[in-house]
Amino acid sequence: MSCTTTPPLDPVTPSHPDPRFRADLSFTAEGVKHSGFVLLPRRSSTKFVFDLPRETEMFLINTCGREDVPILYPAANQKTLEYVYVPAMEKENMGSCALFATAVTARGEFYRAVVDFTNSTGKDLPVRLFCNGKWADVVGAGICQTRAGIPVGVQVDVETLAEGPVECPPIKELRTRREWEMPSGKGLCGYDFMDRDGRLFRLSVLGYTSILNIFPKEGKK
């Protein structure tokens, strides 16, 4: 027997003791402003500047190969945090290796930025991606953040197979080897699509069940 600690993601249920929050953290990457769940070109080095929420007490940066805990200076009223991300060769610079930046404030507010990276291998599959009310033409990698339960769709022009993790909502094939739909699950789910020539489209879906109230209550602060 073997065991895994990978938690299964529930399909959408009416009530759940473990909501996944959506509380987007703003940042710039190489000078361009972003927020929340973002797809960026993979580079040998990316300079991030994260906007620190008021009274940030803890900041974590996680990837598939690291956890960094930058030192904060709350007494200095630090408003931003600079982080230069240099993905480690052969570990972080290939395939899926998203960067997660998480800020927790003294008031119990939780903010997160998720950055996935494209990885042009020369074998990138072009698809049409439906996410949160919009269609987009994407190549090789795509992301979608939406409320858990809202469907995400993929269309292709060539014969393609689709796969997803068993612990995530199943993929429904709408047209044989051409079109699929899956409800976004609670948390992160990775789906992949591959054509006969091995061209790949990697889709990461982030489903949330609660939007964290990022504004403190009125009254004494």
Contacting residues toward another protein, per CB under 8 A: 1-8, 21, 57-58, 60, 62-64, 67, 95-100, 102, 104-110, 112, 114, 161, 163-168, 170, 187-194, 196, 198, 200, 202, 204, 220
> Hey, is 2 helix, strand or coil?
coil
Pick between residue 153 and residue 165 the one whose CB is nearest to another protein: 165
Q: Positive or negative CA dihedral for 33, 182, 193, 88?
A: positive
Pick between residue 83 and residue 110 the one whose CB is nearest to another protein: 110
Pick between residue 106 and residue 136 the one whose CB is nearest to another protein: 106
In the structure encoding, which two tokens stand for residue 18, read together? 């473990």
Pick between residue 6 and residue 45 the one whose CB is nearest to another protein: 6
Pick between residue 97 and residue 154 the one whose CB is nearest to another protein: 97
Minimum distance, C-beta of residue 92 to another protein, in the bound complex (Å): 9
In the structure encoding, which two tokens stand for residue 33, read together? 């402003």
- Nearby residues of 25 by Cβ (< 8 Å), 6 or more positions away: 35, 36, 50, 51, 53, 101, 102, 103, 111, 112, 113
Can you spell out the DSSP letters for 187-204? EEEEEEEEETT--EEEEE
Q: In three state form, how does the secondary structure of 21-75 look? A: EECECEEEECCEEEECEEEEECCCCEEEEEECCCCEEEEEEECCCCEECCCCCHH
Minimum distance, C-beta of residue 216 to another protein, in the bound complex (Å): 10
* Token pair 């395939």: residue: 95
Minimum distance, C-beta of residue 187 to another protein, in the bound complex (Å): 7
Minimum distance, C-beta of residue 97 to another protein, in the bound complex (Å): 6
Pick between residue 133 and residue 146 the one whose CB is nearest to another protein: 146
Minimum distance, C-beta of residue 210 to another protein, in the bound complex (Å): 10
Beta bridge partners of 135: 130
Minimum distance, C-beta of residue 82 to another protein, in the bound complex (Å): 20
